Amino acid sequence: MTTAPRTPVWTSTTKLVVGLTLVAILAGMLIKFQSILPPLLMAFILVYLLYPIASFLTRKLHFQWSLSVNLIYLVLVILILGLLTIAGFEIFTQIQSLIGLVTRSLDDIPLLVDNLTRTLQEYIGPFVPEVETLNLEQLGTQLIDNIQAGLGRIGELLGRLASGAVNTLVWTLFVLIVSYFILIESGGLRERIIQVNLPGYSEDYARMSKEVARIWNAFLRGQIILITISTITYTIVLGSMGISYAVGIALLAGLARFLPYVGPFITWTVLALVAFFQAFKPFGVSALVYTLIVLAVGWLIDALLDNIISPRIMAETLKVHPAAVLVAAIIALDLLGVLGVVIAAPILATLQLILRYVIRKLFDLDPWEGLAEHPTPPPLRVQFREWLANLRAKLRLNQQKKL
């Protein structure tokens, strides 16, 4: 009985050449298809966010996994189509109003020129202008030509906006399709979302996957909670203070939580401009005093979120310096666009984890030594109940101390 001959074992030089070749090919593909990276990242993020919902439907309602996924994406498609319909109708209405305004203005130009002629024929101080030397017909024609040129530029701008909208719609459809197939083919098993089989590294891969999942879990769910709390707080406080566009500023403040330092500064700048220039000033104070009061309130809200609420929700999971996040956001903006700014913090934390693993392996050290084993975090409702219970306990303790 003969056995099949074994293939030759690669030498270290062969392994190095093959490894460098694969890295070069991968880098070339990333550079060539750089535009596809943000949609792919969005697809994986969407899968990660929708997985708990599909798992809940399967576990609680006893649906099949495919039925749960199909229901979720059906709701998503209906929501997207509804939002597109509302946005398209509103944009069409605004464009129609703009065209009507410009058309009426063009019709009124002869009347405006006639009124200008009569005005110039009157005395202006001690001088009498020579109206006969002015070719008002030529001026009117030139004005109409300039307006038509402006309308042409507006048409070009609208064409670019329409092209951008179609491009965004196509990429949105791509994200939905890719995320749908990834989620439905996982069969309800999280480890099947991304399958990698490296001989001898199964334990390291499992640990790395757990750590990376912990980072993104803390960031995505934590940011959703922080954005919700920030938006609701700003809406209530700014609305009670009489700030115009309170809801829009509140949404801006919520989204600004993604970018440290710069995000709150942008929110405070917009808030100060709106408070200073709005016509209504409550409390009977001057514009400057009112602006300073509003800025102080905004700073207090962000300080409470950063120093009390955010550490409890994030639990220092990312462990990256805010200044490093800011630099990473600038780099990610160039590579991934706006999405890079949003996910700069978890990307930096993930790269930091991978770099730590590689460096310790290069020096023949245990890659997980000194890295605490984190248990699986409880569901959000359990975390919220625990937070409420701790808050009530502290309130009772304070009352007992006063008594």
Domain identity same for 364 and 286: yes
For residues 330 and 324, what is the distance between their CA atoms, to the nearest angstrom?
10
**pLDDT tens by residue, the chain, 403 residues:** 455 556 677 788 888 888 889 889 988 887 887 778 888 888 888 888 788 888 888 888 888 888 889 999 999 999 888 877 887 776 667 666 766 666 666 566 566 656 656 665 554 545 544 544 445 555 556 666 666 566 566 666 666 766 767 777 888 888 889 888 888 888 766 666 676 677 777 788 888 888 888 888 778 777 888 888 989 999 999 888 888 888 888 888 888 887 767 788 888 888 888 888 887 777 778 888 888 999 999 999 988 887 777 766 665 556 777 777 778 878 887 877 777 777 888 888 888 888 888 888 888 888 888 776 655 555 555 555 666 677 677 777 777 776 6
How many other C-beta atoms are found inside a 10 Å radius of the C-beta of residue 350? Answer: 19
Domain identity same for 271 and 378: yes
Both tokens of residue 129?
A: 């202008």
Last residue of a domain, one of 139, 164, 192: 192
Domain identity same for 187 and 309: no
Residue 63: phi and psi, rounded to 5, are: -80, 155
Both tokens of residue 290?
A: 């009112």
Domain identity same for 220 and 366: yes
C-alpha distances (whole Å) from 220 to each of 45, 257, 344 are 9, 12, 12
Domain identity same for 263 and 377: yes
For residues 278 and 184, what is the distance between their CA atoms, to the nearest angstrom?
51
Containing structural domain, residue 206: 202-395
How many domains, the chain?
2
Domain identity same for 76 and 183: yes
Does some domain include residue 363?
Answer: yes
Asked if residues 282 and 242 have their Cβ atoms less than 8 Å apart, the reply is yes
Both tokens of residue 249?
A: 């500023």
For residues 253 and 401, what is the distance between their CA atoms, to the nearest angstrom?
37
Does some domain include residue 7?
Answer: no
pLDDT at 128: 47
Asked if residues 189 and 54 have their Cβ atoms less than 8 Å apart, the reply is no
C-alpha distances (whole Å) from 367 to each of 16, 19, 203 are 22, 21, 12
Dihedral sign, Cα of residue 335, residue 341, residue 343, residue 344: positive
Domain identity same for 142 and 240: no
Both tokens of residue 112?
A: 């405006």
Does some domain include residue 17?
Answer: no
List, in order, residues 6 or more apart from 179 with CB less than 8 Å away.
Answer: 42, 43, 44, 46, 47, 50
Domain identity same for 386 and 239: yes
Both tokens of residue 224?
A: 């959703």
pLDDT at 149: 62
Three-point CA angle 61, 49, 387, nearest 5°: 85
> Roughly what angle, to the nearest 10 degrees, separates helices 262-277 and 287-304?
150
Domain identity same for 40 and 130: yes
For residues 137 and 269, what is the distance between their CA atoms, to the nearest angstrom?
47
Domain identity same for 208 and 188: no
Q: Residues 223, 227, 228, 234: what is their CA dihedral angle, to the nearest 10 degrees?
A: 160
Domain identity same for 237 and 177: no
Does some domain include residue 238?
Answer: yes
Last residue of a domain, one of 172, 192, 212: 192
Last residue of a domain, one of 139, 166, 192: 192
Asked if residues 164 and 28 have their Cβ atoms less than 8 Å apart, the reply is no
The predicted model scores a pTM of 0.61
Does some domain include residue 5?
Answer: no
Domain identity same for 144 and 234: no
